[in-house]
Amino acid sequence: MRSKALLRALLVMSCLLVAAKIGLGLVYLKEVRFKGEALAGEKDKAKGQVAAPEDLLEKLKKREEALRRKEEELAKMEARLKPMKEEVEAKMAELTELQTKLAVYAKKLAEREKALRDAKMAHLVSLYSAMDPAKAAAIMDKLKLETVVKIMRNMKGKAAGKILAMMDPQKGAKISEALSRTK
């Protein structure tokens, strides 16, 4: 239950971080495109005419001033985006750490579940091994083939052989065939 909550929290954090990155990129692109279109309009006007050197000098000064302002604006924008970028990077590092912890937790949980299944199987094996072979065979006749195969695979050969001998020959053959095929 706890691992599901952690997974949900991790997913939500991932989505928020991706959305923040996309939002920051779109804001930057819109500002750059808008200013780029303004400069492109100036270029189109200048192409159709041959200006006097004084006019060219004036246009170059204006362009230089516009570029300087643009550089200043970009520097300001970069200064505004830098803390956001650092925050996103910190959140990403935190998210990566949580993912690592969650992976370790999931691995431990899987190991516990396997140990529990193995313990249950060991209990069944000892239970059937201790029973009278005829009674064990009668019970196993009613179990699913895969369950019987798992139990017999873990039993000592002598005990499994006695139980198998007491079973219906057709089911015993199916069990034997399954035991020879599977690990």
Per-residue pLDDT of the chain (183 residues; tens, 9 = 90+): 566 665 666 666 666 666 666 665 555 555 555 555 555 555 545 455 555 777 888 888 898 999 999 999 989 998 998 898 899 899 999 999 999 999 999 999 999 999 999 999 999 999 999 999 999 999 999 999 999 999 999 999 899 999 999 998 899 999 999 988 866
Q: Contact, 154 vs 121, CB < 8 A?
A: yes
How far is Cα 47 from Cα 142, in angstroms, rounded to an integer?
A: 93
Q: Where are the domains of the chain?
A: 2-113, 131-178
The label of the residue with tokens 């091994």 reads 129
pTM score, two decimals?
A: 0.48
H/E run at residue 11: helix 2-47
